[in-house]
Structure 1
Amino acid sequence: MTKELNALTGYVRRCVDDYGMISEGDRIAVGVSGGKDSLALLCALSHLRGYYPKAFDLEAITIDLGFEGMDFSPIAELCRRLNVPYTIIKTDIKEVVFDVRQEENPCSLCSKMRRGALNDAMKTHGYNKLALGHHFDDAVETFLMSLLFEGRISCFKPMTWMSRAGVWQIRPLIYAGEQRIASLAEKLALPIVENPCPQDKASKRHEIKELIHELSAQHPDMKSKIFGSMQRLPLDGWGKQTRDAKSASADNE
């Protein structure tokens, strides 16, 4: 067990406690894309279930978008070591988005189809909560994207009730910064599956990420202040947080 995993699990537990994300007897599925964030979340939740006072079941699920050459067997091996059941759902999302529909905004349709596939899998396997790997930086970026591109003050919620699917989406990583997660992924040699999507570096999120990087060079605490303001407003769904906002964000610059 590494100090990095212990630290990340501490962030996850504090977030889980602050927002009441886990209840006794929950069946939680981690949406594993193959990226560092979802793999780090899987490891942290696996570690947490060993001592958390509320017992919960943990499983991992991957939506295979249909890109050629994607090998999820290293993730299957990680799940075996963690004693976490693993399911891969094969889809034709890549073909529909890029070949059939030829979408000008493929990310939007792909996201909707992935959510649909995840929701179907949740129903089939009897999960009641879906854990997603959005982290501290994702929250700040989403807030700025909504503000600058849509003229709205908005962000995803720490917990979201999906009425059609009848499940909760939870985001236990929102107190953990991307740099911390990347360090953990390197330390544990997590089996990252590279995203072959041609739109991976061409999104508005990537533009915002670069903008934040430039501004943070002059204002190092900018992300913490934005995150804190989201909690103090509070944004819809963020008001359950009871700690000083600085405590959740100060270590993520």
Structure 2
Amino acid sequence: MQPKLFSLIDKAAFDFDLFGDGRKILVGASGGKDSTLLLEYLSNRMKRRGTNFTVEAAYVKTDFAPEFNGELLSLVESWGIKVATIPVDTLARVKEGRKMNCWWCSTQRRKELLDYAIKNGFDTLALGHHLDDILETFLMNMMEKGEISTMTPNFRYEKYPLSIIRPLAYCPVGMISERAEEMGWRRMTCTCTYQDNSGRKDARRRLELLTGGSFDEKMRMMEALRKDGKL
């Protein structure tokens, strides 16, 4: 029996037209529970009748990240998905007088994934952002930037021949954590000492206060954003 999470991903795929015929998809694999769930789902979906897309994964190895976990690598490869490693010396890229921070490091990793995808003929980059990520970003942008915006489940670049998709858009983080524990997935931890997630943590706290942790209320927030054309 398939987990409920797969049904939620199926719904997001339908609502946002995520898996077009013949797509070549690269998954940004972090080694965490979110991208592992995404890889598990895609390996399952590729076995379904009528599915016509290919999937590979890439892991960006920075100064602060360990090697991709060997046990997890074996698991993903057993699902029929290849995993490439992209080494990046992020510290060497920091310009004189500037400080390393999470946002900048994230943009460097994203750039490497985009470059790898384009050079290797992929037309879609799939990322593991989930329901809570999207709603937290919405709250952060509203409170810090004064704008109603967030990460979108299906984004097409104008200057790149590439789309970014977020198939976990309807998946709550609690349900993902339960799946990871149930399956015994090993977590990989970033050892970066420059992390400052205070804004994200505050948005997470506000989201839980606003919704009482209710999945249904979070989904209604997503529906409101979708109806307003923000997704």
TM-score calculated relative to the size of structure 2:
0.90
The corresponding residue for 2:71 is 74
CA contact (8 A) 1:67 1:94 kept: no
For residues 205-235 of structure 1, the C-alpha deviation after alignment (integer angstroms, 9 at most, x for no partner) is 1221122233444988643332221122131
1:88-107 counterparts in 2 under 5 A? 88-97=85-94, 101=96, 103-104=98-99, 106-107=101-102
Q: For 1:43, which of 14, 37, 40 is the aligned residue?
A: 40
Equivalents in 1 of 2:201, 2:176: separation in Å?
Answer: 18
Aligned Cα root-mean-square deviation (Å): 2.3
Name the CA shift for 1:196/1:135 in 2 (closer, same or farther; >3 Å). same
The corresponding residue for 2:53 is 56
Identity %: 27
Asked if 1:154 corresponds to 2:144, the answer is: no
Instruction: Report deviation, 1:70.
Output: 4.0
Name the CA shift for 1:218/1:130 in 2 (closer, same or farther; >3 Å). closer
Runs of 4+, deviation exceeding 6 Å: none
CA contact (8 A) 2:66 2:190 kept: no
Asked if 1:224 corresponds to 2:219, the answer is: yes
The one-letter amino acid of 1:167's match is L
Asked if 1:138 corresponds to 2:124, the answer is: no
Equivalents in 2 of 1:209, 1:32: separation in Å?
Answer: 23
Equivalents in 2 of 1:175, 1:72: separation in Å?
Answer: 27
The corresponding residue for 1:170 is 165
TM-score calculated relative to the size of structure 1:
0.82
The corresponding residue for 2:4 is 7
The one-letter amino acid of 1:73's match is G
Q: For 1:189, which of 184, 191, 197 is the aligned residue?
A: 184
Give 3-state SS (helix, strand or coil) of 2:147's partner.
Answer: coil
Number of residue pairs matched?
A: 231
Q: For 1:213, which of 208, 215, 228 is the aligned residue?
A: 208
Q: For 2:199, which of 204, 213, 218 is the aligned residue?
A: 204
Name the CA shift for 1:219/1:181 in 2 (closer, same or farther; >3 Å). closer
CA contact (8 A) 1:23 1:54 kept: no
Equivalents in 1 of 2:51, 2:8: separation in Å?
Answer: 17
Equivalents in 2 of 1:209, 1:68: separation in Å?
Answer: 24
User: Where does the alignment leave 5 or more consecutive residues of structure 2 unmatched?
Assistant: none
Equivalents in 1 of 2:203, 2:99: separation in Å?
Answer: 20
Give 3-state SS (helix, strand or coil) of 1:163's partner.
Answer: coil
User: Where does the alignment leave 5 or more consecutive residues of structure 1 unmatched?
Assistant: 239-253
CA contact (8 A) 2:130 2:172 kept: yes
CA contact (8 A) 2:65 2:189 kept: no
Instruction: Report deviation, 1:72.
Output: 3.0
For residues 61-115 of structure 1, the C-alpha deviation after alignment (integer angstroms, 9 at most, x for no partner) is 1111122644432332122211111101011014434xx6574561221122112
